Amino acid sequence: MTVSAAPTQATVKSETARAPVRKNRFWSWLIFVVGALYFLVPLAATFYWSLRAEKDKFGFEAYRRLFADTNFLPSFSESIVNAIAAILISLLIIVPTAYWVTLRLPKLRPVIEFITLLPFVIPAVVLVFGLIRLYSRPPLLLTATYDSSRILLVCVYAALSFPYMFRAVDNGLRAMDVRTLTEAAQSLGASWPTILFRVIFPNLRVALLSGALLTFAIVIGELTIALFMAQHTLGPYMANLTRSKVYEPSAMAIVAFAITWAAMGIIQLIGRGQQGQIAGGH
């Protein structure tokens, strides 16, 4: 270190270096505050509005009415079941695919990545018309009954989750030495299913959870596709609520936010635990 050789220079340098940092900090705080206000003001207003269902009084009347509505809980639970089904389908497709691409077909990665990105590129309205055209006539008639439409919807949701799921799983796979771990397991006698379920899945825990929770957050309130397929899920229910009620939609919005945030919070919590492990390694 040359600090002792030129002490004055060093102090001057550090002072000139500190000033822009302070300035930077001011601007980053300003941007943060503006961003936070942009986000928090509507949220606060919505929350405020949701508490005003009774005249001249703050209270949770709107929430009580919402949960008392006979259509709310069925559509809510239907959406939850759809989300879980979509997550499972997505996992079973994406994890083996991403694993195999990492292990054996690294050249194919850009192609797979592009395919998983398609749901981002195609607007939901276009997607839904395409789907209805394709699946409303034999041999792929799926829109005839409510239940078959629901199966179709779940499959579409699984496809919508691909961008998130693939990225999450891919990151998880990159964080471990997939090839060597696979070979180590093989040399110890493990078959492919054993490797997948005892080695790969457990080490992808965090990645799988974040992929799953992101999928959940998207699917739970999805409107466009559910509406066109005449499904009684949470999305259409909320849209309907907005048209007919005054305070309940606000309460609904807050509930939806709480669920999404809980999902994010869980990702953060689990991610932090895992990070400690990784940081400690090697």
Partner 1 sequence: MAYLTLSNISKQFGDTYAVQDFNLDVEKGEFVSFLGPSGCGKTTTLRMIAGFETPTDGAIALGGADITNKPPNQRKMGMIFQSYALFPNMTVAQNIGFGLRVRKDSKADIQERVREMISLVNLEKHAEKYPYQLSGGQQQRVSLARALAIRPDVLLLDEPLSALDAKIRVSLRAQIREIQRKLGITAIFVTHDQEEALSISDRIVVMYDGNVEQVGTPFEIYNFPTTTFVANFVGSLNTAVAEVTDPAKGLLSVNGVQFSSAAKMDGLQKGDNVRIAIRPERFSFASEVRKANVVDCRIENITFLGSVVRVHMLIGNSSFTMDTFNYPSLELPRIGATEQVTCSREAVLLLEEVRANGHEPKL
Interacting residues toward partner 1 by CB under 8 A? 176-177, 180-181, 183-191, 194, 198-199, 202-203, 205, 277-278, 280-282
Give the side-chain half-sphere CA count within 13 A for 29.
Answer: 6
CA dihedral sign of residues 42, 268, 109, 126:
negative
Q: Of 110 and 189, which has the nearer Cβ to partner 1?
A: 189
Q: Which two tokens stand for residue 19?
A: 């000033």
| 236-247 per-residue burial string, b: 16 or more CB within 10 A, e: under 16 | bbbeebeeebeb
Tell me which long-range contacts 233-239 makes (C-beta under 8 A, separation of at least 24). 233/75, 233/78, 233/79, 233/82, 233/153, 234/75, 234/76, 234/78, 234/79, 235/79, 236/75, 237/71, 237/72, 237/75, 237/76
- Whole-angstrom distance, CA of residue 250 vs CA of residue 236: 15
Distances (CA, A) of 280 to 64, 170, 181, 206, 276: 48, 22, 19, 17, 6
Q: How far apart are CA 175 and CA 75, in angstroms?
A: 39
d(CA 21, CA 168): 34
Least Å from the CB of residue 107 to partner 1: 14
Packing angle between helix 248-280 and helix 205-220, nearest 10 degrees? 170
Least CB distance from residue 206 to partner 1, whole Å? 11
Give the distance from CA 244 to its chain's centroid: 30
Local structure of residue 144 (DSSP, 8 states): S
